[in-house]
């Protein structure tokens, strides 16, 4: 087998794991959304009307889940335009972020932070 074939086999095996559902930009794992590195995704209570209120220093601490070129929104997944003109993923109208203090996959140190940050759930 070629390395390319083995890479595809590994990808399909990972997607078949129980408890993991995948969207192009995020995955559901153990009842919450994570990015493709397994980092927990969060929502911010101050976001409203499909607009991110987390910019500047806030976005440094809470990096937005950014849209890559060519990615398409479908179902409850939407793309919102940030203040800097870049596009961010939102689920069910809520923009999604990671947290700079989460160091490894599965960390959820931002959950409940200042009573406005919460783990994103499907």
Percentage of the chain surpassing pLDDT 90?
77
More confident residue, 41 or 5: 41
CA torsion 44-50-56-60 (nearest 10°) is 50
Q: Are 53 and 119 in contact (CB under 8 A)?
A: no
Nearest to 111 by CA among 4, 55, 39, 6: 39
Distance CA 41, CA 110 (A): 9
User: Is residue 14 scored above 60 in pLDDT?
Assistant: no
Quote the CA–CA distance of 112 and 44 in Å, as a whole number.
10
pLDDT exceeds 80 at position 10: no
Task: State pLDDT tens for residues 70-102.
Answer: 899 999 999 999 999 999 999 999 999 999 999
> How far apart are the C-alpha atoms of 70 and 79, rounded to whole Å?
12
Q: For 26-46, what is each residue's pLDDT tens digit?
A: 999 999 999 999 999 999 999
């Amino acid at each position: 087998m070629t390395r390319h074939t083995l890479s595809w086999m590994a990808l399909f095996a990972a997607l078949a794991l129980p408890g993991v559902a995948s969207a192009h930009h995020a995955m559901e794992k153990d009842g919450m959304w994570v990015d493709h590195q397994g980092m927990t995704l969060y929502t911010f209570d101050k976001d409203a009307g499909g607009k991110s209120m987390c910019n500047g220093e806030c976005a440094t601490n809470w990096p937005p889940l950014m849209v890559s070129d060519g990615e398409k929104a479908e179902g409850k997944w939407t793309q919102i335009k940030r203040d800097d003109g870049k596009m961010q993923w939102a689920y069910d109208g809520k923009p999604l972020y990671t947290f700079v203090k989460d160091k490894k996959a599965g960390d959820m140190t931002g959950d409940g932070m200042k009573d406005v940050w919460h783990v994103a759930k499907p």
